[in-house]
Amino acid sequence: MITLKILIEYDEGYYKTTPEFPEHFKKQGHEVVVFPSSSQTIDGVDPALIREMVSHCDVISRQNIRITDEILDLAPNLRLITTFGAGFGGVDVEAFGKRGIPVINGRGGGAAAVAELSVAMMMSLSRRLPQYDCEMRDDIWDSQMGCELTGKTVGIIGVGAIGGYLAKILRLGFDADILAYDVVKNPELTEKYGVEFVDLETLCKKSDYISLHTPLLPSTEGMIDKRLFKMMKPTAFFINVSRGPVIVEEDLYEALESGMIAGAGLDVFDPEPPVNNRFAAMRNVVMTPHTGANTPETAKRIAAMHIQSIEDAIAGREIKGNIVNKEFLK
């Protein structure tokens, strides 16, 4: 049996939740380097340490470290990169594809967790939970009218694994009418959950809630801006659980401050963590620290997916995981 070097770099919480991931390959006799990290600490890591860890790796499973051409030169036998998130920032997928190295993401592994967070934010905003929680702590008793999520129109921007799962929850659990915008239309969602695919402007004008689930790409950066916020209902709630730079934060702030929209739920920011966070003073904003997929269930699903992908790569089989750079592979 050939012994491989496998680097596993991921958040400490994921590491504690999924010890079976590195242990699976250690038991097979492979050299496994485990490096718990976080998006906040990774920039402070000595580059020499990262180079040492990456050197002569056959497989890299990463979450936070940036894999560059320079680093790849240290691992000439690299045959696979897996990344724990649905996104793949920090990895030049085109460059690796041209080297014949597939990049696998965790697509679908966190769909339930992120979709549930979106629903939690909708309900929290509908019933004024952030406002009431703050007021009750200050001994203020002021019950006001909220609104129900049931039966409302929800617009979902980006209906991949997460957006599709959200459509299922909202349709079956809340009898919501679902409008969707995506570059790829999924007829199965229409058949199962009555999802109506519309243009982005129609979605913004008609939706009571708007939940954003697009990846961060050159084509999506800054796509939600003042023009679209102006189209939304003054009673609309806007949720971003995708990536911070997909929206123009200044435009969102102005929309909230002016009453252009009723409130927002934000799990992601630009930058992260936010600097001088002006949303913190707003009672109609719910904020979480990019925690959408941060559940043990998600960690275990993605670990199982990556174990299978790495096993496929080792055995020379067709990789069953979601290859994000297929079009660039030699």
At a CB cut-off of 8 Å and minimum separation 6, what does 216 contact? 87, 89, 242, 243, 245, 246
Measured distance CA(266)–CA(274) in Å, rounded: 11
Question: Contacts by 199-205 with C-beta closer than 8 Å and gap 24+?
Answer: 200/157, 200/228, 201/228, 201/231, 203/155, 203/157, 203/179, 204/155, 204/228, 204/229, 204/231, 204/232, 205/231, 205/232, 205/233
Measured distance CA(128)–CA(145) in Å, rounded: 9
Burial of 159 (0-12, 13-18, 19+ CB in 10 A): buried
66 given a catalytic annotation: no
**Identified catalytic residue from 51, 99, 127, 290:** 290
Measured distance CA(30)–CA(18) in Å, rounded: 18
Measured distance CA(84)–CA(62) in Å, rounded: 6
**Identified catalytic residue from 62, 107, 171, 243:** 243
213 given a catalytic annotation: no
At a CB cut-off of 8 Å and minimum separation 6, what does 46 contact? none
Q: What's the one-letter identity of residue 253? A: Y
Measured distance CA(117)–CA(288) in Å, rounded: 10
Summarize the chain as % helix, strand, coil (round to 5). Answer: 40, 15, 45
CA torsion 313-317-318-324 (nearest 10°) is: 0
Nearest Cα residue to 239 out of 123, 121, 140: 121
* Other Cβ atoms within 10 Å of 329 Cβ, number: 15
Q: Which helix (H) or strand (E) is 239 found in, with range?
A: strand 237-240
**Identified catalytic residue from 201, 272, 278, 297:** 272
137 given a catalytic annotation: no
Asked if residues 193 and 165 have their Cβ atoms less than 8 Å apart, the reply is: no
Q: Catalytic site residues?
A: 243, 272, 290
